Amino acid sequence: DLPVDDDALRKRLWLQVCRSVIGGGVQADSGGDCAEMRPAEERSELRVRVRAAVGLMEECPLLRIEDLLPAFPDFTLINDFKDTICAAVDSYTAQLASLKAQMTHTIGASEALRCDIQKMRERAFDVADDVTCDCTQLAPTVCATCAGGLVAAHRHVAFPCGHAFRLRCLERALPPEEVQRLEACGGAAGGLGGP
């Protein structure tokens, strides 16, 4: 636990310790009278080492059972760590359920957003014939181009708050990067013509 700030290093060190515990102590027998007893002793010793490694894994929250599985010998009995595997599967099931709920919520939110965007695209305001351009209200920061002329005879934008602008006046009020964005989208700034 010494490298407190480096989780990757801590995990690697704990994994090396667990591998050492799992792999340690197996020595080949040279033969003789206890050759038949050796496999049973090895299995018993292996079970003890596997349990010790699982115990070490539980001490380090960075390690998971799938990190240790490749270190186990091929014929390791699953009974020695089945509770740990079941707990890991339960944890993954809970994580999957949470992710599924998040995905469902996100899909619903994106569908609602698409509907709102479509409604906004189809939204239109009726502008009376006598409505004038509100560019004069922008006068301290932007020079009024039409001096408050009628908007009905020109391409214009009307806002829900009641303001209406000729597109030409609105284009001049926008920062250059917004004008470029509108031109790239084929918006108002692209085809402005007329007065």
| Ramachandran class of 31: left when φ > 0, alpha when ψ lies in -120 to 50, beta otherwise | left
Q: Could you report the per-residue pLDDT of 126-145, keeping only the tens digit for each?
A: 778 888 888 777 766 666 57
- Give the pLDDT mean for 95-101: 96
- Rounded Cα gap, residues 179 and 185, in angstroms: 10
- Give the pLDDT mean for 36-47: 69
DSSP E strand stretches across the chain:
156-158, 164-166
What is the pTM assigned to this prediction?
A: 0.48
| Amino acid 38: pLDDT | 58
| Amino acid 7: pLDDT | 82
Q: Tokens 């965007």 map to which residue?
A: 117
Residue 1 has pLDDT above 70, yes or no: no
**End-to-end Cα separation, the chain, in angstroms:** 74
| CA dihedral sign, ordered 170, 176, 182, 188 | positive
- Residues 6+ away with beta carbon under 8 Å from 173: 135, 138, 141, 142, 165
Q: Which two tokens stand for residue 158?
A: 């009307």
Q: Could you report the per-residue pLDDT of 111-120, keeping only the tens digit for each?
A: 999 999 888 8
Going by pLDDT thresholds of 50, 70 and 90, the confidence category of residue 18 is confident
Of residues 158 and 4, more confidence is placed in: 158
> Which stretch, 47-51, 95-99, 161-165, 167-171, has highest mean pLDDT?
95-99
Count other Cβ atoms within 10 Å, centred on residue 71: 17
| Amino acid 123: pLDDT | 76
- Give the pLDDT mean for 166-191: 69
Residue 195 has pLDDT above 60, yes or no: no
Going by pLDDT thresholds of 50, 70 and 90, the confidence category of residue 60 is confident
Going by pLDDT thresholds of 50, 70 and 90, the confidence category of residue 88 is confident
> Which stretch, 55-64, 101-110, 149-158, has highest mean pLDDT?
101-110
